[in-house]
Amino acid sequence: MWPKKVKEDALVSCRRKCCVCHMFCGRNIELHHIVMESKGGESTFDNCIPLCFNCHAEAGHYNNDHPKGTKYSSAELRRHRDNWYRTVQQLDLADHKWEANENKQPKEVYEDQVVTLKGFVWREAFPGPPNYDSFDTDRIETYWMLILPEPICLFANSFETEETIKIENIKKLQLCVDPEFYSSSKEIIRTDVELTGKLFMSITGHHHGDANFDIRGQHA
Ligand SMILES: [Zn+2]
């Protein structure tokens, strides 16, 4: 019998996936003694390898008197186990890093501060010249917008008085990009991306987002 702690540690280390074939097993996972108990193998974490039913049968049943196929050696099983535990550990680390980055989005941004923001790139059409008024009479202009998952607020200075203005509830940023960016970065449309740049205020009637996000010079 495996001690409770050994069992738990092994099952967590492999994420209940077989150490040889990497299949997710759920309840159908078994703990195998790498060195068999009959040969003095102990019920320790080091001597334990979680396996699916198939791999367990394969690893356990080999008839030396009637050799067929290729035997699983203890050293090999141990390496499979160590490789798989290491992979799971790396996956866990990557998950945590992703979660940490998720919450990294700044909530308050100052004009001209270089910030990195995550969002969804949305291409939006507006009436353009000559009257910027109607899709029927004007040419269509399209802009790329960055839709933020959570609203942010921007601190900017008033053009006239230098007074600090707080613009709240900013969700949609109009991207200011180099002309080449439209053709070189088409693949980011309708995807989640992370862009670096500087925010500046929208001028009503001129800009289409809650604020502008100037990413010129920040992206190759
Ligand atoms: Zn397996």
% pLDDT > 90, the chain: 59
The CATH code of the domain that includes 150 is 2.40.50
Count other Cβ atoms within 10 Å, centred on residue 156: 18
Residues 6 or more apart whose Cβ sits within 8 Å of residue 104: none
37 CA distance to ligand 1 middle (Å): 21
Residue 87 confidence (pLDDT) above 90? yes
In a domain, 219, yes or no: no
Residues 181-220 pLDDT 10s: 888 888 899 999 999 999 999 887 678 899 999 998 775 4
Asked whether residue 8 falls in the same domain as residue 73, the answer is: yes
14 CA distance to ligand 1 middle (Å): 12
Give dist(CA 203, CA 200) in Å, integer: 9
**What mean pLDDT comes out for the span 33-62?**
91
Asked whether residue 14 falls in the same domain as residue 94, the answer is: yes
59 CA distance to ligand 1 middle (Å): 10
Q: What pLDDT does residue 203 have?
A: 81
Residues 122-166 pLDDT 10s: 999 988 888 888 888 889 888 999 999 999 999 999 888 889 999
Q: Report residue 126: phi and psi, to 5°.
A: -135, 155
Q: What pLDDT does residue 219 have?
A: 57
By mean pLDDT, which of 12-26, 45-59, 78-92, 173-187 is the weakest? 173-187
Q: How far is CA 135 from CA 17, 47, 58, 125, in A?
A: 56, 72, 69, 9
40 CA distance to ligand 1 middle (Å): 24
In a domain, 199, yes or no: yes
Q: What pLDDT does residue 220 have?
A: 46
CA 159 to chain centre: 40
Pick the closest to residue 214 from 181, 185, 186 (CA basis). Answer: 181
- Lookup: tokens for 61: 């049943």
Single-letter amino acid, residue 64: N
Q: What pLDDT does residue 92 have?
A: 84
Q: What pLDDT does residue 102 have?
A: 62
Residue 67 confidence (pLDDT) above 80? no
Contact predicate 31/41, CB 8 Å? no
Residue 115 confidence (pLDDT) above 90? yes
15 CA distance to ligand 1 middle (Å): 13
Asked whether residue 91 falls in the same domain as residue 118, the answer is: no
49 CA distance to ligand 1 middle (Å): 11
Asked whether residue 52 falls in the same domain as residue 22, the answer is: yes
Q: What average pLDDT does the chain have?
A: 89
Residue 41 confidence (pLDDT) above 90? yes
97 CA distance to ligand 1 middle (Å): 29
Last residue of a domain, which of 81, 100, 119?
100
Asked whether residue 41 falls in the same domain as residue 135, the answer is: no
For residue 15, what are the domain limits?
Answer: 4-100
Asked whether residue 70 falls in the same domain as residue 166, the answer is: no
Pick the closest to residue 27 from 5, 10, 11 (CA basis). Answer: 11
SS3 annotation, the chain: CCCHHHHHHHHHHHCCECCCCCCECCCCEEEEECCCHHHCCCCCCCCEEEEEHHHHHHHHCCCCCCCCCCCCCHHHHHHHHHHHHHHHHHHHHHHHHHHHHHCCCCCEEECCCEEEEEEEEEEEEEECCCCCCCCCCCCEEEEEEEEEEEEEEEEEECCCCCCEEEEEEEEEEEEECCHHHHHHCHHHCCCEEEEEEEEEECCCCCCCCCEEEECCCCCC
Query: Structurally, how many domains does the chain consist of?
Result: 2
Residues within 5 A (CB) of ion ligand 1: 18, 20-21, 52, 55
Residue 121 confidence (pLDDT) above 60? yes
25 CA distance to ligand 1 middle (Å): 8
Last residue of a domain, which of 66, 100, 134?
100
Last residue of a domain, which of 100, 135, 163?
100
80 CA distance to ligand 1 middle (Å): 11
